[in-house]
Amino acid sequence: MSIPNLHCFDPFADEAKGDYLLPSGTEDFIHIRIQQRNGRKTLTTVQGIAEEYDKKKLVKAFKKKFACNGTVIEHKEYGEVIQLQGDQRRNICQFLVEIGIANEDQMKVHGF
């Protein structure tokens, strides 16, 4: 017995190709995490920003705007990861939306 509709056209297949996706090079979300260091000290990490953006320039802008120190770390599994001192999760979300790198629904904030 053969069912003719089994291999039909999916009208929603192209729905994922809208303009709400991240720029080329990223198929995931931008992950913003916080890590506890010692005592009250924290570290904020940002991963998943597209390769077309210069992460060193982004770190320079973050440092100037948020008055904190930061660097770009090369991680063998995640690629280039931005590290900032302090809890900058909310600030980073607002900044990335302001400059147009990502929308609110493209970022995932992790921690506490």
pLDDT digits (tens, 9 = 90+) for 5-58: 555 655 555 555 555 544 444 457 999 999 999 999 999 999 999 989 999 999
How many Å apart are CA 54 and CA 68, to the nearest integer? 19
Its pTM stands at 0.73
DSSP per position, the chain: ---GGGG---TTGGGGGSTTSPPTT--SPEEEEEEE-STT-EEEEEE---TTS-HHHHHHHHHHHHT--EEEEEETTTEEEEEEES--HHHHHHHHHHHTS--GGGEEE---
**53-98 pLDDT per residue, tens:** 999 999 999 999 999 999 999 989 888 999 999 999 999 999 999 9
Name every residue whose Cβ is closer than 8 Å to that of residue 37 and which is 6 or more positions away in sequence: 43
